[in-house]
Amino acid sequence: MLMRHAPRVAISSALIQQVAGAAGYGHICAQIKASVTVPSAVYYPGDENFYKLSEHWAPSSNEMPACVVQPHTTGDVGKTLQIVGKSRTPFSVMSGGHATTPFLSSTTGVHISTAAFTSIEYDEATKRVTFGAGLKVEDLYAALHPYGVNVPGARVTGIGMGGFVLGGEAAVKPGYSWHTNQVGLAFDSVEAFELVKPSGEVADVTHQSDPELFFALKGGGNNFGIVTRFKMRTFPQGLVWGGLITFADPNVFPTVTAAVAEFAARTTDPKAGLMSSATVVQGKHTIELFVFYDGPEPPAGIFDKFMNAGPTSNTVTQQNFLTLTDSFKLTEELAGMRAHILGVSVPAYSLNFLEVVNEEAFNENPELVNKSHTFMLLSEPFLPSILSHNKHETAYPFTRGVVYTPFAIVAAWTDPAYDNDIKKGMEKIRDKLEATLVDEGYAGVPTSPLYPNYALWDGPLHRIYGTNLPRLQAVKQRVDPEDVMGLAGGFKIPPASVVRDEL
């Protein structure tokens, strides 16, 4: 669902300042327009394509750019990077626009959209797919469905594959989370990146061609150029079993929570997946379970306690993968609302921890709940062996001694006046959950790897790159010595001259 600036007559003073600032980059936009080839295009405010290509799923992530550039070739991506780099013009790079935090894929300068890079080439002989960074996950799923194969991707529609993969998915987050535990999906799925470097050079980056840059792109974000295509291994995909189970009766919440803790501690079947959500929608409390089995039916016992706990609704059934993905409507339901996701690195889902999650969602944050339309805390356990599948080192996570699940705190609201209060409320919950884990004996949680796609814009850099930072700085110095990509949003790898302790 596309969110429009309507009505566009009434704009805030902050937006007026953004527009005034963006106007100063008009000559840069004109220079880019004169340099790129047809059908590449440059769009300005007032053009429908300007809004279509720059607006995010959550308007809280929007800024007003001076123009939107939609390159259709890697050559035009290179020309654009050279122009913004030489002029030191701030810019952004956006794939699907599903970032739920400001300043990551938005700008008041030049906004670069990868929306034209949507090619899909599947090789049945090698079971590899090469696809453009501007694709939405559902388009890639649909293209692969006739071949009976799939790739790691998001659990809901509308997610751009570019930001999804580069935000850490290629390194650790298993893509379509139900496949978390099956053959190490996503860890080693990405085999090549087509990268346009800040110099304009186009490189096919593999572990063989440039192992250090390949390492850096797996979790290093947009610090090394603009990725326009990915090559990934596929895996067989048949019928699946899954859906959403909702519990609205508080009397059964303890039973459901205990079953989630038991699932996290005891389930070892790599085909089974679960995501538990303590959810508040306009004051109504529910626990929602997204359950999945990568097969037509799970073995008896894995999900029985959930199915028999007295759900209010249950959509679980045998179905194909596309139907299951399309049934998760969260993206559509929250589209157009302001939204943030804040991550907590969770090494284990004990019953005590999950009870604290419920307390934070349902009891101790009335101000946050009252100001948001939707508020949820999502638990998603991984198997302990999840990090063992990747053959190569990756920028994220910077430590593999402990498996940290990217737990998510999610809030959606409508009134911009609540922005700061919502953020503070989410941070309060994060601090309480981290303290709970420390009390349980996990002393490393406050300094553990923070999943980039669940980090707010002010997330500490030492939680993003940690001990990998010096190595990433060396790659950065070689690939982008002028720090062109430092002009874009995202978590920036600083020049090598910056002292590590200052970060």
> What is the reported pLDDT for 272?
93
Asked whether the bond before 397 is cis by omega within 30 degrees of 0, the reply is yes
Q: In 3D, which of 450, 359, 371, 441 has the Cα closest to residue 404? A: 450
> Residue 498 falls within a domain, yes or no?
no
pLDDT at 474 over 90: yes
> pLDDT tens for residues 256-276?
999 999 999 999 998 999 999
- Distance between CA atoms of residues 358 and 376, nearest Å: 10
Domain containing residue 412: 240-454
> What is the reported pLDDT for 503?
54
Looking at the fold, whether 99 and 179 belong to one and the same domain comes out as no
pLDDT at 53 over 80: yes
Please, which pLDDT band fits residue 330 given cuts at 50, 70 and 90? low
> pLDDT tens for residues 163-201?
888 876 544 433 334 444 333 345 478 999 999 999 999
Looking at the fold, whether 266 and 148 belong to one and the same domain comes out as no
- Distance between CA atoms of residues 97 and 119, nearest Å: 18
CATH number assigned to the domain comprising residue 23 = 3.30.43.10
pTM: 0.91
- Of 172, 203, 236, the position where a domain reaches its end is 236
Q: In 3D, which of 359, 327, 380, 357 has the Cα closest to residue 179? A: 380
Looking at the fold, whether 226 and 271 belong to one and the same domain comes out as no
> What is the reported pLDDT for 233?
94
- Distance between CA atoms of residues 493 and 491, nearest Å: 7
> pLDDT tens for residues 380-430?
898 887 877 778 899 999 998 888 988 999 999 999 999 999 999 999 999
Q: Which two tokens stand for residue 138?
A: 């559902």
Looking at the fold, whether 156 and 126 belong to one and the same domain comes out as yes
> Residue 475 falls within a domain, yes or no?
no
Looking at the fold, whether 106 and 130 belong to one and the same domain comes out as no
> Residue 492 falls within a domain, yes or no?
no
> Residue 485 falls within a domain, yes or no?
no
> pLDDT tens for residues 347-361?
999 999 999 999 999
> What is the reported pLDDT for 433?
98
pLDDT at 2 over 50: no
**Residues forming beta bridges with residue 131, ordered by sequence position:** 120, 230
Q: Do residues 247 and 311 lie in contact, with contact meaning Cβ atoms separated by under 8 Å?
A: yes
> pLDDT tens for residues 95-131?
999 888 778 899 999 999 999 999 999 999 999 999 9
> Residue 465 falls within a domain, yes or no?
no
Q: How many domains does the chain have?
A: 3
- Distance between CA atoms of residues 225 and 482, nearest Å: 12
Select the more confidently predicted residue: 294 or 10: 294
Q: In 3D, which of 151, 159, 115 has the Cα closest to residue 341? A: 159
Q: Do residues 118 and 136 lie in contact, with contact meaning Cβ atoms separated by under 8 Å?
A: no
Looking at the fold, whether 285 and 160 belong to one and the same domain comes out as no
- DSSP for residue 491: -
CA torsion sign for 229, 397, 385, 306 is negative
Looking at the fold, whether 276 and 290 belong to one and the same domain comes out as yes
- Distance between CA atoms of residues 215 and 400, nearest Å: 15
pLDDT at 313 over 50: yes
pLDDT at 10 over 70: no
Looking at the fold, whether 151 and 94 belong to one and the same domain comes out as no
Q: Which two tokens stand for residue 360?
A: 């934070």
CATH number assigned to the domain comprising residue 191 = 3.30.465.10
Looking at the fold, whether 173 and 48 belong to one and the same domain comes out as no
Q: What is the mean pLDDT of residues 134-144?
A: 95
> What is the reported pLDDT for 169?
54
Q: What is the mean pLDDT of residues 146-154?
A: 91
Q: String of b and e for 135-167 (b: at least 16 CB within 10 Å)?
A: bbbbbbbebbeeeebbbbbbbbbbbbbbbbbbb
Q: Using alpha carbons, list the distances in angstroms from residue 275 to 98, 245, 411.
A: 20, 10, 17
> What is the reported pLDDT for 331?
63
Looking at the fold, whether 127 and 107 belong to one and the same domain comes out as no
* Residue bearing tokens 């990077």: 81
Helical pair 74-87 and 26-35, crossing angle rounded to 10 deg: 150
> Residue 414 falls within a domain, yes or no?
yes
CATH number assigned to the domain comprising residue 450 = 3.40.462.20
pLDDT at 18 over 70: no
> What is the reported pLDDT for 3?
31
Q: For the ranges 12-21, 46-55, 372-381, which has the lowest average pLDDT?
A: 12-21
Please, which pLDDT band fits residue 156 given cuts at 50, 70 and 90? confident
Q: What is the mean pLDDT of residues 85-92?
A: 97
Q: Do residues 59 and 3 lie in contact, with contact meaning Cβ atoms separated by under 8 Å?
A: yes
**Residues forming beta bridges with residue 409, ordered by sequence position:** 342, 377
- Of 63, 78, 113, the position where a domain reaches its end is 113
Strands (E), 248-309: 272-281, 284-293
Tell me the DSSP string of 149-181.
Answer: EE----SSTT-BHHHHIIIIITTTS-SSGGGTT
- Of 236, 264, 282, the position where a domain reaches its end is 236
Looking at the fold, whether 402 and 256 belong to one and the same domain comes out as yes
Looking at the fold, whether 256 and 286 belong to one and the same domain comes out as yes
> Residue 469 falls within a domain, yes or no?
no
- Distance between CA atoms of residues 151 and 169, nearest Å: 12
No. of helices (H) and no. of strands (E), the chain: 16, 19
Q: Which residues contact 481 (CB under 8 A, 6 or more apart)?
A: none
Asked whether the bond before 7 is cis by omega within 30 degrees of 0, the reply is yes
> Residue 462 falls within a domain, yes or no?
no
